[in-house]
Amino acid sequence: MKSNTERGGPPARQTRSASPSGTPGSAQAEPGHSLFAFDETTCCALAQTHGTPIFAYHRPTAAAQYQRLRAALPDRVRIAFAVKSNPHAELLKVFAGLGASFDCASGGELSRVAALGLPQGMTFYAGPGKRDAELAQALAQGARIQAEGWEDLERLDALATGPLAVNLRVHPASGADESNRIIGGTGPSAFGVDEEELPSLLERASRLHHVRIQGLHVFAASNQRSAQALLSTHAMVLGMALRLHREHGLDLEQIDLGGGLGVPYSESETPLDVEALGQGLKALLEAHPWFKGELILEPGRFMSASCGVYLAKVVRVKESRGTRFIILEGGVNHLLRPLLTGEPFPVKVLGKSGALRPATLAGPLCTSLDRLGDMPLPEVAPGDLLAFGTVGAYGYTEAMGEFLSHPRPPEVWVG
């Protein structure tokens, strides 16, 4: 079993590779709609071999998610993996090998993608607060820049030495909403140009020397599992693009529809029907024959979430005034998403069954904010092992890893 430590990433980030043949049990996800990338036997073997807490990822699961989405989409739809969901070099290599483009939101993410040695034109650069050095880095890397407003356009015009095509991010006035405010729906937003401000901005932009707006970028909702809801938003974006084409003469090469492709976080939630999404996008392209360019999708969670599990042992169980607290080795320093969204990751106690009763999962940090969710679980004792599923997205790097100076958990790659 070989191991290596990733250089240049977050401090003390441990990365290891594990061979499935050297790990007892199946490395494959359980059949059907599974929330866990590994079966219980493999989870226990990984914990025994590498210790806990630990993040473990299954390369074939990530590859299968990309391949399923690619097969469902029309040829004119490009997939740009949202690096923010999981920027690990091993995962980026998986998707690069399958032909993915990449959506970056920082200079650090641009550097991670640059290390892949991809041809120019395979990278997009977005973000509401781009610094001058990052814009220069993106230009040198040949990234397609998603301009957030006049400030981006003006600075890019000064940096460019020749004609420069950019995409303009627009914050729509209607047609999108979220149950959890992650992107922000249609309310006030730090992202993009408000749709109602477009005419004046486009008039100013027409006087720039080098920059030409030749693409549209709209990302209005996140973690949407309804293909029809996504397609409704996409139809709104194409309608907006048509108006810009007719009223302002924009020659659009690209229409970036953003991400938002959701995944289930419980057995009761229905997975996204990617085949219906693909058929709907095909119909939208046919309904807009004026548009000859390509559509861009920026899935992150959809491609990476299902490949990861987080394993942690119970340290202590406490009953306090009618509440059962299960205190684990790791908390929001390893998994922050439940605190941010109010939605826990799927959890199971390995090797335990029996009657379920309410429990609050807490971590080892000295703050009452260190909570990983409330859920029914069987009786547990110190030393029992819990597996958290669907943590391949917005897990390790979203967490408060340096808080209280607990050691960083290793990350193991299987397959």
pLDDT digits (tens, 9 = 90+) for 33-63: 589 999 999 999 999 999 999 999 999 999 9
pLDDT of residue 5: 31
Q: Coil, strand, or helix at residue 251?
A: coil
Work out the average pLDDT over 134-139.
Answer: 97
User: Is CATH 3.30.1490.190 the right assignment for the domain spanning 3-58+305-414?
Assistant: no
pTM of the full structure = 0.90
Q: Could you read off the pLDDT of 173-202 as tens digits, one per residue?
A: 865 544 444 445 556 567 889 988 999 999
pLDDT score of 29: 41
Tens-place pLDDT, residues 201-215: 999 999 999 999 999
Average pLDDT, the chain: 90
Distance CA 127, CA 148 (A): 7
When pLDDT is cut at 50, 70 and 90, the band that residue 11 belongs to is very low
Mean pLDDT, range 379-393, rounded to an integer: 98
Please answer whether residues 18 and 46 qualify as being in contact, where contact means their C-beta atoms are separated by less than 8 angstroms.
Answer: yes
Backbone φ/ψ region at 358: left (φ over 0), alpha (ψ -120 to 50), beta: beta
**Percent of the chain with pLDDT strictly greater than 90:** 84
Helix (H) / strand (E) element for 196: namely: none
Name which of 67, 68, 66, 70 is nearest 85 in CA terms.
66
Residue 147 scores a pLDDT above 70: yes
The whole-angstrom separation of Cα 75 and Cα 57 is 29
Query: What is the predicted pLDDT for the residue at 34?
Result: 84
pLDDT at 32 over 80: no
Q: Is the pLDDT of residue 371 over 90?
A: yes
Domain boundaries, the chain: 3-58+305-414, 87-299
User: CA nearest 271: which of 20, 28, 29?
Assistant: 29
Average pLDDT over residues 293-303: 97
Looking at residue 182, its pLDDT comes to 46
pLDDT band of 3, cuts 50, 70, 90:
very low
Please tell me the predicted confidence (pLDDT) of residue 365: 95
Q: Which two tokens stand for residue 272?
A: 């996204």
Q: Which tokens sit at 95? A: 């998707």
pLDDT confidence of residue 14? 72
* 318-356 pLDDT per residue, tens: 999 999 999 999 999 999 999 999 999 999 999 999 999
Per-residue pLDDT at 379 exceeds 50: yes
- Does the domain at residues 87-299 carry the CATH identifier 3.20.20.10? yes
